[in-house]
Chain A
């Protein structure tokens, strides 16, 4: 199993440009999520999905869209990038929501710089 994969590893955008961060997992996990990681602030949840066709907002959803058409993929879209979205983005997955104590498996991250 490759686990959780993310592409690209690094991206530079200009303000106002759009792009999609890709995330895929091959573990048949129901739950997937996106976090951003900023210095001194830990990881903050952007959006999450409990299964194909179901998404919901996390702590910091503004400026980001998601969709979940398949179990494997959970792309994150920036429609109009802003410098405040400069961050490292992590995708994560876990088996299900049935148990409160499920652990999450994280991808390697995408480093995004918005100029």
Chain B
């Protein structure tokens, strides 16, 4: 099973790009990497998912190197509303081999 490691917290300022890295050294061949965002008193919400190389959607990019032992969530030009906890999830097929990281608390300052 993949052991997931993320930074506990990060600070940024409005308008900056934020990169949050997740380490998953034991990732399996079938595993995908998914990132969720969570605001206080709410459930996690899907941001982006990828298997390898780069994935981009309207809110974020996900960079995955060739060895897939880490991944980086990139949030362009953050705003105050991006202040939240970000979770990395590694696994496949929605079974009990999926593992969440402990989460990274991002604080965006004015």
Interface residues of A (CB under 8 A from B): 4, 31, 33, 35, 40-45, 48, 50, 56-59, 90, 92, 94, 97, 100-109
Contact = CB atoms under 8 A, between A and B. Distances in A.
Nearest to A109: B43
Contact residues of B: prevailing secondary structure? loop
Given A94-B94, A97-B93, A42 B101 contact: yes
A41 B100 CA distance: 9
Given A43-B87, A106-B43, A108-B42, A101 B32 contact: yes
B69 to A, nearest CB: 19
B81 interface: no
A109 B96 contact: no
| Size class of the B contact interface (CB-based, 8 Å) | 20 to 34
B71 interface: no
Interface stretch (B10-18, B44-52, B58-66, B72-80): B44-52
B102 interface: yes
B96 A41 contact: no
B20 interface: no
Contacts of A45: 96, 98
Contact of A48 (B36, B95, B99): B95
Given A40-B102, A42-B102, A59-B99, 8 more contacts: A33-B94, A41-B102, A48-B94, A100-B93, A101-B32, A106-B44, A108-B43, A109-B41
